[in-house]
A and B are shown apart, each in its own frame.
Chain A
Amino acid sequence: MADFLNQWGDAIWEGFIQTTQMTLISLAFSILIGLPLGVLLVLTRKNGQWESIPAYTIVNSLINVIRSIPFIILLFFLLPFTRAVAGTTIGVKGVIVPLVVACAPYIARLLETAMLEVSKGVIEAYQSMGISTPKIIWHVIIREARSSIILGLTIAIIGLIGETAMAGFVGAGGLGDLAYQFGYVRFQPDVMYAVIIILIIIVQIIQSLGNVIARKLKKN
């Protein structure tokens, strides 16, 4: 055990940091893009406050198209775009763009579903009080949906961690890459086992945390 830690501790720690970096940075950007997209979907759909069939159809199809492409393919497909946006296609920096492109539509969809659950009646009550749509979105719709939103984001984070495993293909490192490079390519299964155990623990912690926060926010 001590030997193993001596030999692999630093590599695993580095992988953990890289995975955390990739996940958190892409999560932040994905929320920044996904939240407005989700709101747009809710508002522009039929009978929404800003009903617009063209806008809804465009956003809706775009999300479906992106979500149809497996991440590993998206990663290569987006190389020119990634270079244009991030200035590089390798390392942690190079993997953030494809991660965001994959995750933002997913988050938009999760948020849309969460927000559609909010009762039409409450929204109407606030309209009847003369409160503007932007305020209703934030203080009524997102507030009432916040518990489901947190649960959705929990799913999105766990999905992101899975996708970062493929970041190794562009040299971004991370736990998944470590397991693949050493555990599979160089026949050192103990490294792979260690990484798997760490990933299981991380996912468990995130899911439990998500559940606790969601329950707290629900308050009923």
Chain B
Amino acid sequence: MIKLQHVSKTFRVGKNKIEALKDVSLEVNKGEIFGVIGFSGAGKSTLIRCVNLLERPTDGQVFVDDQDVLGLDKRGLRQLRRKIGMIFQGYNLLETANVYDNVAIPLKLEGVPKDEIKARTEKYLEIVGLTDRSKAFPSQLSGGQKQRVAIARALAHEPEVLLSDEATSALDPNTTDAILELLLKVNRELGITIFLITHELNVIQRICDRVAVMENGRIVESGTVVDVFTRPREAMTKQFISNESKFLIPAQLKSELLESGKLVKLTFLGESSKDPVLATLAKQFDVLPSIIAGGIDQLKDQSVGNLLVHLKGDQNKVETAIQFLHDQDVLVEEVSG
């Protein structure tokens, strides 16, 4: 649906050149939710803006629905942009227009027939749950409600793709969840492909099918969300994940535990989470597991369990036990001092 090939973007600020994107290639498939995560300044915003040419790449190619975006003339670009909805961190609504008009005005400017404007505006306000606020002005709405208006405005063009530029970054956690829920619904029920950028891990975890991790203008790692989160390869990715799910234990306790056995982080996925593997360790291998810390991360379609376990027992037996865990499709990561 969206294909970026070797896209680079260099900004000139006075005499300095800033390379915001360096040879970025990625593909977003029809119907999926694709997320790009990175810290601020990684180039995510420039990347998403290259899709609808709010930013023109210095180099490389951009395809949307097999159309070469960079080859389009002004008129062609306007046509294409109507197929691509976009929502922003700052909502970007007209302050002088009420909710209804904020959705209806762009349709009017596009030349959509009158009855159709009314029908679509009402339909999409209903979908985002704001029918009863249609006469309110943006200044009377909460952040979450404003983002809903922005989503309705984007959907009213009946786009094939929705670009989301940090749409939940200005919202509190509860509101973020509600907006993510809405995006999921948009994806599932209307079949709209979503390409989003964020610096929030939980956005990726909750709704994305695939993810790319960005650092310094490059994509350092990409894959399905489950893969990237359970088997992160790059330091950058690990840093993101560890901020959330590393079990921080006091150094004192840690060194005590390491003296008396091995400390391992176990990650359970899908099927492997159902068997009583820890009990098996004690019974079959004569290794005594004790749980130090644990938690569950809810990903879009499955949950991932994390346990920090202390394994006490004969060294050989501990090794065999770890091998057994591997065989059970449990991811084992040894924690050292």
Contact = CB atoms under 8 A, between A and B. Distances in A.
Contacts of A130: 77-82, 110
Contacts of A127: 54, 81
B96 A122 contact: no
A143 B96 contact: yes
Interface string A209-220: 000000001111
Interface stretch (B86-94, B272-280, B303-311): B86-94
Interface in A119-161: 119, 121-122, 124-132, 135, 139-140, 143-144, 146-147
Contacts, number: 73
A126 B106 contact: yes
Contact of A131 (B52, B78, B84, B94): B78
B106 A144 contact: no
B81 A122 contact: no
A126 B105 CA distance: 10
Given A126-B106, A129-B82, A130-B80, A146 B88 contact: no
A214 B103 CA distance: 24
Contacts of B157: 129
B324 interface: no
A125 B86 contact: yes
Given A128-B84, A132-B78, A220-B139, A139 B96 contact: no
A171 to B, nearest CB: 44
A77 to B, nearest CB: 41
B38 interface: no
A122 B82 contact: no
Contacts of B52: 128
Given A122-B94, A127-B54, A220 B137 contact: yes
Interface residues of A, number: 23
B64 to A, nearest CB: 12
Nearest to A146: B96
Contacts of B154: 129
Interface on chain A toward B: helix, strand, loop, or mixed SS?
A: helix
Contacts of B85: 129
B138 interface: yes
A127 B96 CA distance: 18
B109 interface: yes
| Most chain A CB neighbours (cut-off 10 Å) among B78, B85, B138 | B78
A36 B93 CA distance: 25
Contacts of B92: 119, 121-122, 124-125
Contact of B90 (A119, A129, A139): A119
B96 A220 contact: yes
A125 B88 contact: yes
Contact of B109 (A124, A135, A147, A217): A135
Given A130-B80, A144-B95, A220 B105 contact: no
Interface string B91-120: 111111100000001100110000000000
Contact of A220 (B86, B90, B109, B138): B138
| Most chain A CB neighbours (cut-off 10 Å) among B106, B140, B163 | B106
A78 to B, nearest CB: 38
A126 B140 CA distance: 22
A114 to B, nearest CB: 13
Nearest to A133: B74
A121 B96 contact: no
A77 B91 CA distance: 51
Nearest to B91: A121
15 contacts: A119-B92, A121-B90, A121-B91, A124-B54, A125-B93, A127-B81, A128-B84, A129-B82, A129-B110, A129-B154, A132-B78, A217-B96, A218-B96, A220-B95, A220-B139
Interface of B: 52, 54, 77-82, 84-86, 88, 90-97, 105-106, 109-110, 137-140, 150, 153-154, 157, 163
Interface of A: 119, 121-122, 124-132, 135, 139-140, 143-144, 146-147, 217-220
Sorted nearest first, the 10 A-B pairs with minimum C-beta distance are: A130-B81, A220-B139, A125-B92, A130-B78, A121-B92, A130-B82, A128-B86, A121-B90, A122-B92, A135-B109
